[in-house]
Amino acid sequence: MRPPDWDNRVITDSRVQGRAGTAEGSSGADQVGPASAQPPPSRRIAIPTLHERIVDTLRDMIVETDLEPGSRLPEQELCERLGVSRTPLREAIKVLAFEGLVTLMTNRGAVVTTPDMPEVVDSLEMIGMLEGVAAMFCAQRASDEELRAVARAHEDLAVYSRAEALPEYFRANIQLHRLIVESAGNRVLSDLHVKLGSQLKRARRARVSRSSRAQREAFIAEHQAIIDALMRRDGLGAFQAAVAHMASVTRVADPNEPPSLEE
């Protein structure tokens, strides 16, 4: 079934540009601490390829349930809507199969997987350690502009929570974590985070849709502890705050449980 906003989800949509570099700096969040004595290593800006944009678009469609668990991916329809041929689409689907978002079926094409909660909890434990290391590297290596971008994402998260704008809150939450990982400056870590995080986004989104403002504010406070450590350039403090935050998320990972705290 074609989602109502499909025509706005073509691969050139600015929301699905993938890892296209860091956000521009601004005058906000002026409490950024001094950079370390050694300048951070130069990082080449990664421009997403057509293949990466297709992967990002399909991943978002699955996470946001435009493509529902158990449904088959309609290749011809996707090709027409994304404006691509079958070859790059099928290559993108293979990536999503590796991430666990789709299952390749003999003579049936690809089917969107249903989240396996024990696996989700195991993945959350591992992604907690990855995000801890990412926060530590981010505190040590990120530029002032990158830290300001992280702080702005956190501010957006709080605004959307108060406004009960839950889809926007969910996207700002994902953006906050992604910016921290990207600013860590380690491509292997970033790739592992994408692989593990894809399955988890669906569980997080289910929780967000049923969370109260008080529950969200508790997690925003945990985010603030991470931001504070980043601004102090406190690598160990950022690691500890990020690991503690993800431990809280792990405790409430199952979307079939009654509503509770959510990231």
- Sequence spans of domains, the chain: 6-19+41-112, 117-251
Average pLDDT rounded to a whole number, residues 4-18 = 41
The predicted-structure confidence for 79-137, as pLDDT tens digits, reads as follows 998 999 999 999 999 999 888 888 998 877 899 988 776 777 787 888 899 999 999 99
The predicted-structure confidence for 65-74, as pLDDT tens digits, reads as follows 788 888 899 9
The predicted-structure confidence for 124-139, as pLDDT tens digits, reads as follows 888 899 999 999 999 9
In this prediction, residue 61 has a pLDDT band, given cuts at 50, 70 and 90, of: confident
Predicted structure pTM score = 0.66
CB 242 within 8 A of CB 135: yes
Are the folds of 6-19+41-112 and 117-251 the same?
A: no
**Confidence at residue 145, expressed as pLDDT on a 0 to 100 scale:** 96
Between CA 93 and CA 99 the distance in angstroms is 10
User: What distance, in Å, lies between the first and last C-alpha atoms of the chain?
Assistant: 30
Mean pLDDT of the chain: 78
CB 134 within 8 A of CB 127: no
Residue that the structure tokens 């996470």 belong to: 63
Burial environment of residue 177 by CB neighbours within 10 A (0 to 12, 13 to 18, 19 or more): buried
CATH architecture of the domain formed by 6-19+41-112: Orthogonal Bundle (1.10)
Residue 8 pLDDT > 80, yes or no?
no
- Classify domain 117-251 at the CATH class level: mainly alpha
In this prediction, residue 2 has a pLDDT band, given cuts at 50, 70 and 90, of: very low
